[in-house]
Amino acid sequence: MVPDIMIKGLVASYLTSPQGMEMIHTYISSSAGQASIREYLKTPRGKQIALDILPLLLDVIELPDDVKDSVRENLCKKN
């Protein structure tokens, strides 16, 4: 169990480093990365993750406030 925790810590540290963030950006920007995301979002776990991060996304993307408010309001009704 300890090696598992150590590996997870190493991976998390790498992914939050500038090199890790660049790797994530490169992959997500690629056709293969976007296809993987689409496939993941079709799964129940992927759908839940999408709902969990949607409020975070609304905080950082540039949309009119009324659109953000409408999405948030409807999201609350759904949950």
In the predicted model, is pLDDT for residue 71 greater than 70? yes
| 27 close to 33: Cβ distance less than 8 angstroms | yes
Q: Is 65 in the same domain as 75? A: yes
Residues 12-33 have pLDDT tens digits of 999 999 999 999 999 999 999 9
Confidence label for 7 from pLDDT (cuts 50, 70 and 90): very high
Q: Is 37 in the same domain as 67? A: no
Residues 34-67 have pLDDT tens digits of 999 999 999 999 999 999 999 999 999 999 999 9
Q: Is 48 in the same domain as 25? A: no
Q: Is 36 in the same domain as 69? A: no
Q: Which H/E stretch holds residue 37? A: helix 31-41
pTM: 0.69
Residue 31 belongs to what domain range?
1-42
